[in-house]
Structure 1
């Protein structure tokens, strides 16, 4: 008896499924681009290999036997698995196909990334990209467990992880250099100048939630100067930067954003941008596990993003 592993090839199973689609040897052979005798021979070889007929005939009409129905189910599953594996391999080895998952820290302004993705999609339409927003803990969880390919976050956030862990497991690509930017209603302040903490005590604020990095920066700097009289009053918080800024403009509240957000949206903002003395600059970076750049589509994405940033 012939060996089933040589008879039940992907080609023979494809022939078998095509015959099921048409239930006509002549039509199936024409679609497959082979002769009818060649198709008949392939089906007979399969039947001989498994030891039972796959098709029966009533008059001139073919029908599937019970054995044929079982093989049909198995053939669909087997070929589906093979095609999926081949597709995954092709996606891994090709620079212009596949999927890329990106995680963005909630407080990071991603408008620059969004603009790049539009341009990238036009150039590489067969690469699909999904962007999700996370808090710091969930973003690192997804990076650590390879659930996302790339993370966009503030570099100081990585300080929460050990530096050895960053150096041994991750690489980063700088996107923008940032400064904590206060948007104030005080028209006496000169735009983009630095002012001491004392100038901002006793103000009302609309901010990100406490867990967000920019709020932490502000509170850390103001913390030593705050007391019961001039505490940091935050009646409203938003996770959306736009909602936060719009609210600040419609009230007498101050707010904070990253410098890149202000630069991208300054035409829409009437408040005065100033800096807080003593707050160090920080960077927004793309973080990814070491080895990710070996995937051609990831390497291609990072190279195109770098070109976009330099343009």
Structure 2
């Protein structure tokens, strides 16, 4: 109950359900199916999370979760609540998009979530050029993990994501669209002179040395693990894990540890006399793409940016842009190669 000018008013069930962060807590637990992990992500204690879930269950009048051994499962009521919660967020996000479509449509901010493991130089160059032609639009880039990207897309805190696909970590794909930028090759990076001239290297031949790679929850590490398991080959022995390609590349160059990085990063980084790059056999490929909520591209400033990026790549394709940016950064002039002073 709440007191209003001396009178008592009973809170409705709806007010109880949607108060504070109850639904956020429920969604996080439904995603992780682990109280400890969900509480850590939410930044609260496990007892506090348990209390909120029990409060929600008392309100709806049914248990939302049940346990099978040590594993947590959604009950029938829990599945109904999960579906309803997604629908609620969908309605709110659609309302936000409709408002943005009708107010400040041509100017304002565009928030872009960029996967932290993606080579960003092309997007940085595009943003500079786009600003020169569209000074009334502010582009905010956020370097994020995959989970942070999906969370912010779900909560409408970013307009566009630039990330790798396919991605099975998102359970509710219906509200989203994707637009491919380029198909990436994952390259094997090594310092073994015996393999230096080989353009393709089998997975089983990459196990004679230690590795450096991304953390286990990162997309590229999961792609690697899946390909090794599918080929029935032992997983590489990772002795170090870093969150950015620069850190991984530097560790590999200094220690001789093997690794795997996208072709786009190797082009942007340039050759290193100590390291060699080769394709895996069989090849490991994935897409780099824009991901956004359906109808988000109908907001004029967002649609215009996507169209402008298409035009940007039509003038020079993605790989050509990478090469140009690398050459400008390191002062390479192909016309002057071999010339003498």
1:257 counterpart = 2:261: yes
Structure 1 position 92 matched with structure 2 position 101: no
| Number of equivalences | 215
> What is the match of residue 51 of structure 1?
none
Change (3 A) 1:271 1:310: farther
Give the TM-score normalised by the residue count of structure 2: 0.58
Alpha-carbon distance in 2 for matches of 1:298, 1:200: 43
Structure 1 residues 133 and 266, CA, compared in 2 at 3 Å: closer, same or farther? Answer: same
- Equivalent runs, 1:237-248 vs 2, <5 Å: 237-248=241-252
Per-residue displacement from partner, 1:185-238 (whole Å, max 9, x unpaired)?
123335682221121113111111111111122222334322xxxx63222211
Distance in 1 between residues matched to 2:170 and 2:238, nearest whole Å: 29
**Structure 1 residue aligned with 2:143:** 133
- Paired with 2:274 and 2:166, the residues of 1 have a C-alpha distance of 29
Note the 1:2-81 alignment, pairs <5 A.
none
Q: What is the match of residue 104 of structure 1?
A: 114
- TM-score, length-scaled by structure 1: 0.63
Instruction: Verify the 8 A CA contact 1:221 1:279 in the aligned structure 2.
Output: no
> In the TM superposition, what is the alpha-carbon distance from 1:270 to its structure 2 partner?
4.5
Question: Does residue 243 of structure 2 align to residue 233 of structure 1?
Answer: no
Deviations 1:222-281, CA, capped at 9 Å, x for gaps:
34322xxxx632222111211210111111111111111112222457411112212442
Change beyond 3 A, Cα 1:220–1:110: same
Aligned-partner Cα distance in 1 for 2:100–2:299? 12
Residues 179 and 275, structure 1, Cα contact 8 Å, conserved in 2: yes
Supply the RMSD in Å over aligned alpha carbons.
2.3
Residue 115 of structure 1 corresponds to 125
Who wins on radius of gyration, i.e. which is larger? 1
Contact 2:227 2:284 in 1 (8 A): no
1:153–1:191 distance in 2 versus 1, CA, 3 Å: farther
Partners in 2 of 1:124 and 1:178 — Cα distance?
30
Q: Which structure is higher in RCO with an 8 Å CA cutoff and minimum separation 6? A: 1
The equivalent of 2:214 in structure 1 is 208
Compared CA separation, residues 287 and 188, structure 1 to 2 (3 A): same
Deviation at 1:286, TM superposition (A): 0.4
**1:161 corresponds to:** 170
**Equivalent pair of 2:206/2:236 in contact (CA under 8 Å):** no
